[in-house]
Amino acid sequence: MIVANTLFTRVVRNSPYLLIALLVVPVLGGLLGVLLPAFGWFPALGAHEFGLFGFVQLFQTPGIERMVLLSFGTSLVSTLLAFIITILILASYFNSPWLKRIQRLLGPILVIPHAAAAIAIGFLITPSGFLSRLVSPWLTGWDTPPDWLLPHDPYGLSIIFGLTLKELPFLLLIALGVLAQPEIGKTLRAQHKVASSLGYCPMTGFFKVILPSLYGYMRLPLLAVLAYSSASVEIPLILGPNTPPTLAVAIMQWFSDVDLSLRIKASSGAILQIVITLSLLGSWWLLELLVKKCSAAFLINGEREHGGMLIKRLTDMITVAMLTIIGLALVAMVLWSFAGFWSYPDILPQQLVSLHWTSALLQMQTPLFNTLVIAISTTLIAIALTLLVLEAEQQNTKTISAISGFIIYLPLLIPSIAFLFGIVWLFEQVNSQHAYVNVVFSHLLFVLPYVFLSLANSYRRLDPRFSSVAASLGVPPSKIFWQLKLPLLISPILIASALGLAISFSQYLPTLLSGAGRINTITTEAVTLANGASRRTSAVYALMQMLLPALFFILAWAVPKFFFRKRG
Amino acid sequence: MKSTLTQKIPSLNISHLQLKQQGTSLLSLNEEVKGGEVLTIMGPSGSGKSTLLNWLVGMLPSDFTATGELYLNGQDITNTASHLRHIGLLYQDPLLFPHLTVAGNIAFAMPKGDKQTRQDEISEALNQVGLAGMEKRCPQQLSGGQQARVALLRVLLSKPKAILLDEPFSKLDSQLRQETRQLVFEQIQRYSLPAVMVTHDQSDALAAQGKVITLDTVSLNEVAS
């Protein structure tokens, strides 16, 4: 496509380079900033010689094997569980109106930040939590909270529980997104119909026909979930054990320690974290090979029915239990935020007060302001850059290369704990003293991939004939972009903005590290309060964490309906 | 009565069918198709052809309602689950499963049994339709005509009691269309299967040499020949 050489087209043409640079430089620079201290080079401490001292120190840490095992085990088991439940739900309700209903119920869970979800689950499973109150004393005979170790259990069961509940809606919505794509969805449904006409019961037909094809589309998001959960901090910090914690939490504590010498050990730990994540991805790949090999004969053995009804009943129970748990966790959180005196084992508080909300709202003015300013700045940059890159694709009449596509998702695949500390080191090297700018920059690394993922499909599907018609009428490219494409894409742009804001709201580690502890947001406060004394204030902060993204998603949904409704 | 009369002869009997969409009558049909015969349904888009096929396979979408009965070889299967009806489906797209080989696609459809016997049966069937030695190929490596033949074998080797053809030749070019059409109709006669074919193409209807019903968009059907 021949385009005029104007300032706009030049900016558009160069935007992909800017995007790639914005992602590659900090991630690779961050990795380098961790790699050097990990191998002993840390000039600030006078360490100028390379060596394995950091690793020796790391492996001498008491409980290091348990940390590694916890990180590895909790992420593998939770991802596996979330995947299995997702598949069971899809198989049981495929072609049923219930699938849409479950999607509607689970969809909003996606916008709940990990920290808020962990706090909500904590309220449910603590000894004096909602779950034990519901069954006491009438069923259990408990007049005082039971002596159980949940949350913070040494086996990481609470972490697995939290991660599974949080990952499940994501995987389910990814799968439903694939099935909603006109070509793929139509073919898969028709193939399911063929299997049915060949005598396969719907459940077996799903496992033998749909799953092998669908899995290919779910693979990358699954690996991203696995990588994320192996190095996540929020859920293990709130629900996990302390002695020892998961490796990611331990690394964060070492990096944040006032004793700077621990930085070398922390950097070595970050390298170990990458190794764990890579091992997990490798294990998943081996698991795939094993399943593929074992299922080859199963797929074509001619067996039409494999206990479909039993699996369906089991899935019904799991689905109901899961939705009930999520519902109860939310109810518990709302109750705690209004609870006055609430003795055990009463199901409801003796009195409801608004005191916690009024005092928390007064305290949270600065965090709220910070949260909004950082999220809005980050999202604006991400949206602008994404739109320019997608416009560049259309001007070049080809999509960005596979390598560039991979780079966009790089920050989601590499454990953030492994490069964020390096980024802090980079900020120190360039003497960046502006905490706000640093935080916005680090949030951008996580907001950009999601905004790009959300907008790319709509932008690429926009009928190119609109632009051709406008160009034939003499309209310049900049005007086509501003006055034709953007108004046509207002709905997806607003949804992508809401998603960008939600991602920014939920960032804990990037805010904590890039802001050097000077920038407090709703999320950093919520995590700090989660393990503190006041369950009530913690509930208010967690609810605010949920309400903020929900508010912006409602706005993104309602604004186009209000302003762009059909006339006449 | 009806069931005892037709018990021995392969047949698909559509008895007093009334299909409605949100209360509005879409089509009425009362036909019997004997084994080896092809009943051709023609008509413009929206006349209810696909809805009829969906009813026959037991997958009528929720915004449609139907009254009437369906008998297969004398047995009432009106309320039988779709996967237990033994009615094979052949679409315009071959819809071969991409994760299985050619042999895998056919084995998928065959009833359970001895592995070697099934493999021999597959090889023989492939040989009969000119696809000898293609067992291990992926469906993507086959031409359109070859894929159509594998799809046909897949349906036939599942041992259906009736077969439905949904515009089965519409995506094939003229030469291939004639060859595939001939093969399909030969096999329908060979296996003595009652068949219902939905098509837009007059030449398909003529080649089927059976009864042709043309549906209009209003409601009732009209017998063309």
Confidence of residue A385 (pLDDT cuts 50, 70, 90): very high
Q: Are residues A181 and A322 in the same domain?
A: yes
Exposure of A96 by Cβ count < 10 A (0-12 exposed, 13-18 middle, 19+ buried)?
exposed
Substitution target in B57, B87, B95 with the highest count of A β-carbons within 10 Å is B95
Q: Is the dihedral of CA A179, A182, A183, A187 positive or negative?
A: positive
Q: How do residues A478-512 score in pLDDT, each as one tens digit? A: 999 999 999 999 999 999 999 999 999 999 999 99
pLDDT digits (tens, 9 = 90+) for A289-340: 999 999 999 999 999 988 888 999 999 999 999 999 999 999 999 999 999 9
Instruction: Flag whether B29 is in a domain.
Output: no
Question: In angstroms, what CA-CA distances link A247 with A117, A230, A250, A269, A274?
Answer: 21, 9, 5, 7, 11
Check whether residue A442 and residue A385 sit in a common domain: yes
Do A461 and A331 have their domain in common?
Answer: no
| SS3 assignment, position B214 | strand
Distance linking the first and last C-alpha atoms of chain A? 38
pLDDT of B124 above 80: yes
Domain carrying residue B118: 96-159
- Region B63-86: mean pLDDT is 94
d(CA A342, CA A325): 21
Answer yes or no: do A170 and A203 share one domain. Answer: yes
For residues A187 and A319, membership in a common domain is answered with yes
Q: Are residues A84 and A179 in the same domain?
A: yes
Q: Does A493 fall in a domain?
A: yes
Please check whether residue B201 lies inside any domain of the structure: no
Min distance A209 CA to chain B CA atoms (Å) = 7
Contacts of A217 in chain B (CB under 8 A): none
pLDDT at B225: 36
**A199 and A106 within one domain:** yes
Q: Is residue B120 in some structural domain?
A: yes
CB-CB under 8 Å, B57 with A199: no
Q: What is the mean pLDDT of residues A159-179?
A: 92
Does a structural domain hold residue A68?
A: no
Query: pLDDT tens for residues A221-275?
Result: 899 999 999 999 999 999 999 889 999 999 999 988 888 889 899 999 999 999 9
For chain B, what is the domain count? 1
Cis peptide before A151 (omega within 30 of 0): yes
3-class secondary structure per residue, A394-413: HHHCCCCCHHHHHHHCHHHH
Task: Return the pLDDT at B6.
Answer: 43
Give chain B positions within 8 Å (CB) of A300: 100, 104, 107-108
Q: Which of B34, B32, B50 is nearest to B91 (CA)?
A: B50
Under the banding of pLDDT at 50, 70 and 90, the label for residue A566 is: low
Classify B29 as helix, strand or coil.
strand
Mean pLDDT of the residues in chain A: 91
Instruction: For residue B128, name the pLDDT band (cuts at 50, 70, 90).
Output: confident
Q: Which of A84, A31, A80, A85 is nearest to A283 (CA)?
A: A80
Q: Are residues A206 and A311 in the same domain?
A: yes
- Say whether the peptide bond before residue A62 is cis (omega within 30 degrees of 0): no
Predicted pLDDT at B37 = 95
**Residues of the domain holding A310:** 74-245+303-353
Q: Are strands B24-34 and B11-21 parallel, antiparallel or unpaired?
A: antiparallel
Among the listed ranges A1-15, A244-258, A452-466, B47-61, which one has the minimum average pLDDT value? A1-15
% of chain B surpassing 90 pLDDT: 68
What's residue A1's pLDDT?
Answer: 62
Per-residue pLDDT for B7 more than 90? no
Q: What is the chain B residue with the closest CA to A199?
A: B83
- Test mutation, B92, B108, B121, chain A, max A CBs within 10 A: B108
pLDDT at A561: 82
- Distance between CA A497 and CA A499 in Å, rounded? 5
A196 touches chain B (CB under 8 A): yes
Contact call for A302 and B112, based on CB within 8 A: yes
Lay out the sheet containing B38-42: strands in order across: B87-90, B162-166, B195-198, B38-42, B212-215, B221-223
C-alpha pair distances (Å), A354 with each of A93, A334, A336, A526, B206 = 42, 11, 11, 19, 80
Residues A307, A444, single domain; the answer is no
In a domain, B154, yes or no: yes
**Are residues A543 and A337 in contact, defined by beta-carbon separation less than 8 angstroms?**
yes
pLDDT given at position B221:
44
CA distance A378 to A501: 8
- Which ranges constitute the DSSP H helices of A397-463? 402-408, 410-413, 416-429, 435-461
Model pLDDT for residues A79-121, shown as the tens digit of each residue = 999 999 999 999 999 988 888 888 888 888 888 899 999 999 9
Across the interface, of B62, B89, B100, the residue whose CB is closest to A197 is B89
Specify if B170 maps to a domain: no
Selection from A424, A389, A446, A383 nearest residue A519 by Cα:
A424
Under 8 Å between Cβ of B135 and B122: yes
- Residue B219, pLDDT > 70, answer no
Burial of B156 (0-12, 13-18, 19+ CB in 10 A): buried
Compute the distance between CA of residue A397 and CA of residue A395 in angstroms, rounded to an integer: 5
pLDDT in tens, B162-216: 999 998 888 888 888 888 899 899 999 999 999 999 998 899 999 999 999 998 7
* Same domain for A450 and A318: no
Mutate to test the interface with B, among A94, A189, A194 (most CBs of B within 10 A): A194
Here the tokens at position A159 are: 């972490």
CATH number at residue A94: 1.10.3720.10
φ/ψ region of A418 (left if φ > 0, alpha if ψ in -120 to 50, else beta) reads alpha
Q: What is the pLDDT at residue A166?
A: 92
Same domain? A324 vs A359: no
Specify the pLDDT at position B222: 42
A164 and A98 fall within a common domain: yes
Assigned domain for A49 exists:
no
pLDDT of residue B145 exceeding 70, the answer is yes
| Count of structural domains within chain A | 2
Tell me whether residue A290 is in a domain: no
pLDDT category at A43 given cuts 50, 70, 90 is confident
CB contact, 8 Å: B99 with chain A? yes
Element (H, E) at B166: strand B162-166
**Closest CA relative to residue A343, chosen from A541, A136, A532:** A136
Task: Mark which of A334, A353, A372 sits at the end of a domain.
Answer: A353
Q: Is the pLDDT of residue A399 over 90?
A: no
Domain annotation covers residue B109: yes
